[in-house]
């Protein structure tokens, strides 16, 4: 007999039962998704920093161009 655990009830009040293996599989899938989110978050932060650096460089170039044009 498989060990099972009741997690929730459906709309009719019937228990939804899952085996330990099913639960572990779902937990593993959630961990993979969390890792993907962490990776995407890291990439987004890096892109944001790169964009900020590029913006700063353009601003500096504009200021330098303005100063040189003034002389």
The residue ranges of every structural domain in the chain are 4-70
The pLDDT, as a whole number, for residue 1 is 53
- 56 Rama class: left (phi>0) / alpha (psi -120 to 50) / beta: alpha
> Are 32 and 25 in contact, with CB atoms under 8 Å apart?
no
pLDDT at res. 46: 92
**What is d(CA 24, CA 32) in angstroms, rounded to the nearest whole number?**
12
The answer to whether 59 and 53 are in contact (CB under 8 A) is no
List per-residue pLDDT tens for the chain, 71 residues long: 567 676 777 788 888 888 888 889 999 999 999 999 999 999 999 999 898 888 888 888 888 777 666 55
What is the separation, in whole angstroms, between the first and last Cα of the chain? 89
């Amino acid at each position: 007999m498989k060990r099972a655990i009741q997690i929730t009830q459906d709309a009719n009040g019937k228990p939804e039962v899952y085996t330990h293996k099913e639960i572990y599989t779902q937990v593993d899938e959630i961990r993979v998704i969390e890792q993907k989110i962490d990776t995407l978050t890291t990439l987004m932060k890096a892109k944001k920093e790169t964009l900020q650096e590029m913006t700063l460089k353009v601003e500096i170039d504009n200021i330098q161009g303005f100063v040189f044009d003034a002389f």
